Amino acid sequence: MSKSIFREYAESLVIAVVLALFVRTWVFQAFKIPTGSMEPNLLVGDHLIVNKMIFSPAVTTLERWMLPRREIRRGDIVVFKYPDEPERDFIKRVIGLPGDRLELRRKTMYINGSPLAESYVYLAEPPSDSAGVTDDRREFFGPVTVPPAQYFMMGDNRDNSEDSRYWGFLPADHIKGRAMFIYFSYEEGGAMADVFRDVRWERLLDIVN
């Protein structure tokens, strides 16, 4: 009898571990915001859940019917492998889609000749008064055309973001998933005694957009 109970517990534990590994590998991933490049929309210490299945290809008709997959859209906030160091994960916003012609003029992004409305952008400094083009990529960049199967990524905190202006286009196969919501947020740097005070309770379960 005891062997049977032990076997049931062992089987349940193995199944739970396999399911956890499946979810971790294929479905969802936890991600912690390490820098201020997405401020003020995402803060250092925000912990996110990332949907890893939404952009994955559907092999069968049943998969397409059952699972909420879609194409990558402009404005999506995604976690991806940093092209220069694939072992590192970055998080940025999709600005340029394949085939788009992009140009940054005095901190305003133009897509195919039209200014892009970006209510999410934060500028630490206003655009300069200079009418001339400078080599400051925070002010001017491009024009460039996004190649097939690649994307142009930018941080919301435009004056403090290491993004496609500096390291180039992002290959589609480097994208891991779309940020969904904040499940925990903690203002780092406080003492352990301040653990409850430093939790940003108002940010918990906020949808990322």
- How far apart CA 48 and CA 21 sit, in angstroms, is 18
- How far apart CA 54 and CA 51 sit, in angstroms, is 6
User: At 181, which amino acid appears?
Assistant: F
92 is catalytic: yes
Q: With CA atoms as reference, report the closest residue to 179 among 49, 90, 67, 57.
A: 49
52 is catalytic: no
Q: Retrieve residue 53's tokens.
A: 């299945």
Active-site residue, selected from the candidate residues 2, 12, 52, 92: 92
Q: Are 154 and 107 in contact (CB under 8 A)?
A: no
Active-site residue, selected from the candidate residues 2, 3, 32, 37: 37
**159 Cβ contact list (under 8 Å, min separation 6):** 123, 124, 125, 138
Q: Which sign does the torsion angle of CA 87, 92, 93, 99 carry? A: negative
Q: With CA atoms as reference, report the closest residue to 152 among 69, 74, 51.
A: 74
How much helix, strand and coil, in percent to the nearest 5, is found in the chain? 25, 30, 45
Reported as type and span, the H/E element at residue 15 is helix 2-22
Which residues are part of the catalytic machinery?
37, 92
